[in-house]
Amino acid sequence: MATELLFFLRFTVSWKESSATRNSQTIRGIGVCPVGPKPEPTWIRSPFIKRRDAIEATIEIEFLMRRCSQCKQSFSLLVYEADDDIANSEIPEWKKSSWNMIKQVPGTRLYEGTDSKSKIWESINTESFKFRPMKGGFYIAIQEEGTCTFLLTMRIFYEKCPSSVTKLARFPNTTSSAIDDTPRKVTGRCIENSVPLSSSPTMYCSHQGKWYDIQGECVCKEGYMVDTAPRYCKSEY
């Protein structure tokens, strides 16, 4: 499940929206490059993103970073948690000390100012980070100081195992556990006109949002038989 982001630009003079063409497709993003020998810190910030029932959130970003003599080659990816949307032009404070660091993100693939367009597109950095939100929602921010960066995409999402009917047992939508936690064990409910063969069926929901290792099953009640196409128990008469 992905949440689309619209960014609040802290320094509109520094960060600018622009577009580029790749394989005949227009790609929009926002970029910044240092001006002068002592560039000041600049920010972009997401709107308030509700946690919903996420246990662990994933942030995926794609960006380009240019190599230049005066440029730094990393930026800070930050999170600020709150139970409600409290943001205005001054809150949360535009200080790194008020935010929690997710990662100091390096540009591992840099392009040169003289590179061709095709070579520049080969230099896209793709990074993925996970964190556990603890409050009702959060803001994500990027703070940089002296980089030449073009942010292409940012996705924020969490994993769910989708509702499923397996061995005549129905398993509900289930939020995945965090990657370091034990996978969630879920008990299924037998569909209409079926009963557990021995005990109620169970299955595990992985942190990747996939069901696995079903134990047990349901069988049709006496007088009913399995219709395999729609997966239900129909009357034998």
Verify that 143 and 174 share a domain, yes or no: no
Per-residue pLDDT tens over the stretch 40-75: 899 999 999 999 989 999 999 999 999 988 899 999
Verify that 70 and 126 share a domain, yes or no: yes
Q: How many CA atoms lie within 13 A of 141 on its CB side?
A: 29
Query: CA geometry: angle at 137 spanning 135 and 143, to 5°?
Result: 110
Look at residues 157, 179, 200 and tell me which one is the last residue of a structural domain: 157
Look at residues 157, 188, 215 and tell me which one is the last residue of a structural domain: 157
Domain span including residue 143: 2-157
Per-residue pLDDT tens over the stretch 9-21: 555 568 888 887 8
Kindly report the pTM of this predicted structure: 0.83
Look at residues 137, 157, 177 and tell me which one is the last residue of a structural domain: 157
What is the reported pLDDT for 168?
94
Verify that 21 and 117 share a domain, yes or no: yes
CA distance 83 to 136: 4
Based on the structure, what is the number of domains in the chain?
2
CATH code for the domain in which residue 83 is found: 2.60.120.260
pLDDT surpasses 50 at 31: yes
Verify that 120 and 39 share a domain, yes or no: yes
Verify that 87 and 114 share a domain, yes or no: yes
